[in-house]
Homo-oligomer: A and B are copies of this chain.
Amino acid sequence: MSAGSEDTVAQARSPRGLDATDRELIALLQRDGRASFAALAKAVGLSEGAVRQRVQRLLREDTMQIVAVTDPLIVDLARQAMVGIKVNGDLHQVADQVSALPDVHYVILCTGGFDLFAEIICRDDEHLLDVLNNGIRAIENVTDTETFVYLKLAKQTYAWGSPTEF
């Protein structure tokens, strides 16, 4: 199957210029993504309108997303895996092609024994095998892969430096 070209990603459309208030808002929304603008306004000491503008700007520019996150292993009875990828040649190009695969939802470039990590979510083993063989390993300049099938999610937090708990 053909992956839809490269509509895919690009994090942060216009990254620059986050002030202290922006960071405060992000921190608050990392604890509760549905916090009302009124509550946020009280917390940061601005008017509701000002906070609304800032939050919407952060969302529009993809500085942050506000979304539901789950454990796919529980919610979907899915097969999930991390794939370490070694690349020969242009890293960015391979990263873009990996990112274009619909079942890949997280891609990072890194140093170390792998050049890329891709986290994938699949329905079952057959689907996983298909993504590996016909998706990732079929990409040019991918020289080696190692697949780490998930057994259990032990921790997942987004408010850095504070516990998951409410």
Interface residues of A (CB under 8 A from B): 4, 7-9, 11-12, 15, 18, 23, 26, 29-34, 59-60, 62-72, 74-76, 81-82, 95-96, 98-99, 102-114, 116-117, 121, 146-166
Contacts and interface: CB of A to CB of B under 8 A. Distances in A.
How many copies the complex holds: the figure is: 2
The A interface, classified by DSSP as helix, strand, loop or mixed, is mixed
A60 to B, nearest CB: 7
Contacts of A60: 166
26 contacts: A8-B163, A11-B154, A11-B156, A29-B67, A30-B69, A31-B67, A33-B66, A65-B68, A65-B164, A67-B67, A67-B69, A68-B158, A98-B154, A98-B155, A99-B154, A103-B160, A104-B155, A105-B160, A106-B155, A106-B156, A107-B156, A108-B151, A108-B152, A108-B154, A109-B151, A117-B148
